[in-house]
Protein backbone atom coordinates (compact mmCIF):
# COMPACT_ATOMS: atom_id res chain seq x y z
CA UNK A 1 0.00 0.00 0.00
CA UNK A 2 1.60 3.22 -1.22
CA UNK A 3 1.01 5.74 1.55
CA UNK A 4 2.69 8.59 -0.30
CA UNK A 5 2.05 8.94 -4.01
CA UNK A 6 3.51 11.09 -6.71
CA UNK A 7 1.39 10.29 -9.71
CA UNK A 8 3.45 12.16 -12.28
CA UNK A 9 6.69 10.32 -13.03
CA UNK A 10 7.98 13.22 -15.08
CA UNK A 11 7.44 16.91 -15.71
CA UNK A 12 8.96 19.19 -18.34
CA UNK A 13 8.95 22.96 -17.87
CA UNK A 14 10.43 25.90 -19.72
CA UNK A 15 13.09 27.93 -17.95
CA UNK A 16 11.60 30.88 -16.09
CA UNK A 17 8.17 29.28 -15.76
CA UNK A 18 6.63 27.73 -12.69
CA UNK A 19 7.14 24.05 -11.87
CA UNK A 20 4.42 22.42 -9.83
CA UNK A 21 5.07 18.99 -8.37
CA UNK A 22 2.25 17.17 -6.66
CA UNK A 23 2.05 14.60 -3.90
CA UNK A 24 -0.85 12.79 -2.25
CA UNK A 25 -0.89 10.81 0.96
CA UNK A 26 -3.34 8.44 2.55
CA UNK A 27 -2.22 8.13 6.16
CA UNK A 28 -3.83 10.76 8.37
CA UNK A 29 -1.16 10.13 11.04
CA UNK A 30 1.38 12.02 8.94
CA UNK A 31 2.06 15.42 10.42
CA UNK A 32 5.29 16.50 8.78
CA UNK A 33 6.09 16.62 5.10
CA UNK A 34 9.32 17.19 3.24
CA UNK A 35 10.58 17.61 -0.29
CA UNK A 36 13.94 16.28 -1.41
CA UNK A 37 15.91 16.70 -4.60
CA UNK A 38 17.93 13.76 -5.80
CA UNK A 39 20.43 13.06 -8.54
CA UNK A 40 21.23 9.51 -9.71
CA UNK A 41 23.62 7.60 -7.47
CA UNK A 42 23.52 10.32 -4.82
CA UNK A 43 21.70 10.75 -1.54
CA UNK A 44 18.66 13.05 -1.33
CA UNK A 45 19.16 16.72 -0.56
CA UNK A 46 16.62 18.43 1.66
CA UNK A 47 14.70 21.28 0.02
CA UNK A 48 11.80 22.39 2.16
CA UNK A 49 9.38 21.04 4.73
CA UNK A 50 6.01 21.84 6.23
CA UNK A 51 4.27 20.92 9.43
CA UNK A 52 0.64 19.90 9.37
CA UNK A 53 -0.28 22.96 11.42
CA UNK A 54 0.59 25.14 8.44
CA UNK A 55 -0.75 25.32 4.93
CA UNK A 56 2.15 27.09 3.29
CA UNK A 57 5.87 27.42 3.70
CA UNK A 58 8.13 29.48 1.51
CA UNK A 59 11.89 29.47 1.05
CA UNK A 60 13.24 31.53 -1.80
CA UNK A 61 12.04 30.07 -5.09
CA UNK A 62 10.47 27.09 -3.35
CA UNK A 63 7.00 27.08 -1.81
CA UNK A 64 5.21 24.07 -0.40
CA UNK A 65 1.44 24.05 -0.02
CA UNK A 66 -0.43 21.60 2.18
CA UNK A 67 -4.13 20.80 1.88
CA UNK A 68 -4.89 18.53 4.81
CA UNK A 69 -8.51 17.93 3.94
CA UNK A 70 -7.48 16.68 0.52
CA UNK A 71 -4.34 14.99 1.85
CA UNK A 72 -2.41 16.74 -0.86
CA UNK A 73 0.76 18.77 -1.00
CA UNK A 74 2.53 20.51 -3.79
CA UNK A 75 5.92 22.05 -4.41
CA UNK A 76 6.10 25.20 -6.50
CA UNK A 77 9.38 26.30 -7.99
CA UNK A 78 9.38 29.74 -9.51
CA UNK A 79 11.14 30.74 -11.60
CA UNK A 80 12.38 27.33 -12.74
CA UNK A 81 16.03 27.04 -13.71
CA UNK A 82 17.88 24.37 -15.69
CA UNK A 83 19.82 23.51 -12.53
CA UNK A 84 16.55 22.44 -10.95
CA UNK A 85 16.43 19.41 -13.25
CA UNK A 86 16.48 16.36 -10.98
CA UNK A 87 14.17 13.83 -9.38
CA UNK A 88 12.02 15.30 -6.63
CA UNK A 89 10.69 13.15 -3.83
CA UNK A 90 8.07 14.07 -1.33
CA UNK A 91 8.23 12.35 2.03
CA UNK A 92 6.02 12.17 5.09
CA UNK A 93 6.51 11.29 8.71
CA UNK A 94 4.41 10.96 11.85
CA UNK A 95 5.96 12.88 14.74
CA UNK A 96 2.87 12.56 16.87
CA UNK A 97 3.52 8.83 17.04
CA UNK A 98 7.24 9.30 17.69
CA UNK A 99 7.96 8.18 14.16
CA UNK A 100 9.41 11.42 12.98
CA UNK A 101 12.68 10.01 11.81
CA UNK A 102 11.03 7.41 9.61
CA UNK A 103 10.31 8.93 6.26
CA UNK A 104 7.85 7.42 3.83
CA UNK A 105 8.77 8.50 0.32
CA UNK A 106 6.72 8.94 -2.82
CA UNK A 107 7.88 7.45 -6.10
CA UNK A 108 9.50 10.64 -7.28
CA UNK A 109 8.90 13.03 -10.17
CA UNK A 110 11.65 13.72 -12.66
CA UNK A 111 11.70 17.42 -13.43
CA UNK A 112 13.32 18.66 -16.61
CA UNK A 113 13.74 22.40 -17.05
CA UNK A 114 14.43 23.34 -20.64
CA UNK A 115 16.55 26.42 -21.41
Partner 1 sequence: GAVVSQHPSRVICKSGTSVKIECRSLDFQATTMFWYRQFPKQSLMLMATSNEGSKATYEQGVEKDKFLINHASLTLSTLTVTSAHPEDSSFYICSASRVLLGEKLFFGSGTQLSVL
Note the residues at the interface with partner 1 (CB under 8 A): 4, 9, 32, 34, 36, 41-46, 49, 89, 91, 93, 95, 100-108
DSSP string, 31-87: -EEEEEEE-TTS--EEEEEEETT-SEEEETTEEEEEETTTTEEEEEESS--GGG-EE
- Min dist. Cβ of residue 16 to partner 1 (A): 28
Which residues does 105 contact at the CB level (< 8 Å), separation at least 6?
Answer: 4, 36, 89, 90, 91
- Min dist. Cβ of residue 13 to partner 1 (A): 20
Instruction: Select 5 or 79, whichever has its Cβ closest to partner 1.
Output: 5
Instruction: Select 86 or 108, whichever has its Cβ closest to partner 1.
Output: 108
Instruction: Select 18 or 39, whichever has its Cβ closest to partner 1.
Output: 39
Under 8 Å between Cβ of 110 and 10: yes
Q: How many CB atoms lie within 10 A of CB 76?
A: 16
- Min dist. Cβ of residue 82 to partner 1 (A): 22
Identify the CA nearest to 5 among candidates 68, 84, 89, 112: 89
Instruction: Select 15 or 58, whichever has its Cβ closest to partner 1.
Output: 58
- Min dist. Cβ of residue 17 to partner 1 (A): 25
Amino acid sequence: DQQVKQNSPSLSVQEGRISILNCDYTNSMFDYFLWYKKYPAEGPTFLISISSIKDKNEDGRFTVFLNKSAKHLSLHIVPSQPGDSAVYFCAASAWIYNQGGKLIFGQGTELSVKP
